[in-house]
Amino acid sequence: MVQFRNTRRAFIRSATQKISLLALGSQAIPALAEELEPVEELLPPEGILLEQPLAKEQIIAAKKLGIALVGLGGYAGGQLAPALQETEHCYLAGIVTGTPQKAADWKTKYNIPDKNIYNYENFDQIIDNKDIDIVYVVLPNAMHCEYVIRAAKAGKHVICEKPMAITVEECDRMIAACKDAGKMLSIGYRLHFEPYNQEMMRLGTKKIFGEIKTIEAHDGMGDTNGWRLDKKLAGGGPLMDVGIYCVQGCRYTTGLEPIAVTAVEGPKTKPEKFKDVEESLDWTLEFPGGIKAHCKTSYTKNMNLLQANAEKGWFKLSPAYPYRGQQGETSEGKMNFPSVNQQARQMDDFALAILEGRATPVPGEMGRQDVKILQAIYKAMETKKRVEIV
Ligand code: NDP
């Protein structure tokens, strides 16, 4: 017995046990740094030579956090679940759905055990489920607040889709709930993990073409339907849904926060359809240093542009915001970056942030700031006055 324990196999086995300790779920995560420190404890007695003792990084790499998707609609089914087949640090462990047929289909398709399938009524029982470390809320915008808070109260880390919520007050409650629970909150801002958009951040914030003077940011869809046309569920029209990417683009390209906004609602070419929300909207964000960002969004016109015009040249993405197929160019030539799975990168980074005990680059506070700006844009649209963003 003693002989057996004094082998490299035994060492690896005991290290594996240590990893499965970490696999106990989110409860174990805050203590992760402590858990990882004494790897030396696992070293075999002197005289046994190890070729490659497990490092902290290797232990982290061996752990995959379980994600439960809440709301199995177009984005969860079309993008997130497929991306979770490519992730290295997290996997699709559970689902929360109000549609029994989807529960049955996803169970088969993604091999999800019954004990990890919830509906909106029994969702809070997820507190007892050690397989689920992260809850990813992919519901209509007005439902984000309730489900993020319920997830935090169930002791889970949370990813919430954009827009974070429909009011700043909701964002505050979501941030507070996660903080109180000692859990991390991240927003589904996939473009922060996309190389062309990362290049816009670099060119802008490092002032590679000098000071930015103006920005053009346009994001529009040719058509939409369902809850996106219902203000109660969506919080607004295309501004909430896709115009938010223009706000994001301006913020991460300049690295600055807008100080004021003016806005003009576009004409309603389909008043029956757009009874509740704007059909299109143009707005101008003012940034420190006199930078002006001219932005447009629409539910009846396809648009997809992020362009910065600076002292010594320009740089732009067109399209800028899709799931794939970004194209970029500067006044000096074409950009050339690899195509990546944005959602896989985004979710892997959040899992790693939890495992490594570091902050996420796309936290709840970033989502709150966008909601604050969106609210100011609507106020400017309604009052037809310049609104300061404080
Ligand atoms: P869908 O309408 O396709 O799906 C939403 C799902 O939410 C439904 O399928 C349903 O799932 C559930 N749901 C629960 N209650 C309701 C309700 N009252 N009305 C409608 N659906 C309900 O929306 P999307 O997947 O396109 O969008 C979901 C969220 O993801 C939004 O916040 C959106 O902004 C965001 N999103 C983000 C994208 C990105 O690129 N980051 C891209 C697309 C969307 P079930 O049947 O399982 O209960």
Domain check: are 255 and 143 in the same one?
Answer: no
Domain check: are 207 and 315 in the same one?
Answer: yes
Residue whose tokens read 């320009």:
314
Domain presence at residue 318: yes
Helix, strand, coil % in the chain, rounded to nearest 5: 45, 20, 35
Report which ligand 1 atom has the smallest distance to the Cα of 96: 47
Burial code of 4-37, b = ≥16 C-beta within 10 A, e = fewer? eeeeeebbeeebeebbeebbebbebbeebeebbe
- Round to whole Å and give the CA distance between 152 and 183: 7
Report which ligand 1 atom has the smallest distance to the Cα of 189: 41
Average of per-residue pLDDT across 242-261: 98
Domain presence at residue 185: yes
What local confidence, expressed as pLDDT, does residue 335 receive?
98
Domain check: are 245 and 384 in the same one?
Answer: yes
Domain presence at residue 126: yes
What local confidence, expressed as pLDDT, does residue 261 receive?
99
Q: Is 72 close to ligand 1, i.e. is its CB under 6 Å away?
A: yes
Q: State which residues form the domain around 158.
A: 65-189
Q: Which of 1-10, 48-57, 110-119, 262-271 has the lowest mean pLDDT?
A: 1-10
Domain boundary among 139, 164, 189: 189
Q: Is 119 close to ligand 1, i.e. is its CB under 6 Å away?
A: no
- Round to whole Å and give the CA distance between 315 and 145: 36
233 or 20: which leads in pLDDT: 233
**Distance from the CA of 139 to the center of ligand 1, in angstroms?**
4
Domain check: are 161 and 263 in the same one?
Answer: no
Q: List strands edge to edge, sheet with 134-137.
A: 117-118, 90-96, 65-70, 134-137, 157-160, 185-187
Domain check: are 199 and 304 in the same one?
Answer: yes
Q: Is 156 close to ligand 1, i.e. is its CB under 6 Å away?
A: no
Domain check: are 305 and 220 in the same one?
Answer: yes
What local confidence, expressed as pLDDT, does residue 18 receive?
35
Domain presence at residue 227: yes
Q: pLDDT per residue over 64-118, tens digit each? A: 999 999 999 999 999 999 999 999 999 999 999 999 999 999 999 999 999 999 9
What local confidence, expressed as pLDDT, does residue 249 receive?
99
- Round to whole Å and give the CA distance between 156 and 131: 11
Provide the pairing of β-strand 333-334 with 328-330.
antiparallel
Neighbours of 197 (CB within 10 A): 26
**Distance from the CA of 312 to the center of ligand 1, in angstroms?**
42
Domain boundary among 61, 85, 109: 61
Q: Which of 69, 70, 75 to mutate to test the pocket of ligand 1 (most atoms within 8 A of CB)?
A: 75
122 or 13: which leads in pLDDT: 122
Domain check: are 375 and 255 in the same one?
Answer: yes
Tokens for 53, please give them: 């003792």
pLDDT at 47 over 80: no
Q: Which of 95, 106, 138, 374 to mutate to test the pocket of ligand 1 (most atoms within 8 A of CB)?
A: 138
Domain check: are 102 and 81 in the same one?
Answer: yes
Q: What is the pTM of this model?
A: 0.89
Domain presence at residue 356: no
**Distance from the CA of 150 to the center of ligand 1, in angstroms?**
18
Quick check: 266 and 278 in contact, CB under 8 A? yes
What local confidence, expressed as pLDDT, does residue 268 receive?
97
Which residue has the CA at smallest separation from atom 42 of ligand 1? 75
Q: 36 Cβ partners below 8 Å, 6+ apart? A: 56, 59, 60
What local confidence, expressed as pLDDT, does residue 56 receive?
73
Domain count, the chain: 3
φ/ψ of residue 195, rounded to 5? -60, -40
Report which ligand 1 atom has the smallest distance to the Cα of 95: 47
Assign residue 217 the CATH number of its domain: 3.30.360.10
**Distance from the CA of 162 to the center of ligand 1, in angstroms?**
11
Residue whose tokens read 């949370």:
158
DSSP string, 341-354: -HHHHHHHHHHHHH
Domain presence at residue 345: no
What local confidence, expressed as pLDDT, does residue 139 receive?
99
Bridge partners of 212, per DSSP, are 310
Domain presence at residue 320: yes
Q: Is 95 close to ligand 1, i.e. is its CB under 6 Å away?
A: no
Domain check: are 73 and 55 in the same one?
Answer: no
Domain presence at residue 305: yes
Assign residue 152 the CATH number of its domain: 3.40.50.720
Domain check: are 51 and 83 in the same one?
Answer: no
Neighbours of 213 (CB within 10 A): 15
What local confidence, expressed as pLDDT, does residue 58 receive?
76
Domain check: are 161 and 201 in the same one?
Answer: no
What local confidence, expressed as pLDDT, does residue 57 receive?
79
What local confidence, expressed as pLDDT, does residue 53 receive?
63
Average of per-residue pLDDT across 296-323: 98
Catalytic annotation, residues: 162, 245
Coil, helix or strand for 313?
strand
Domain boundary among 61, 84, 109: 61
Domain check: are 173 and 217 in the same one?
Answer: no
Quick check: 241 and 226 in contact, CB under 8 A? no
Average of per-residue pLDDT across 305-327: 98
Report which ligand 1 atom has the smallest distance to the Cα of 98: 48
pLDDT at 3 over 70: no
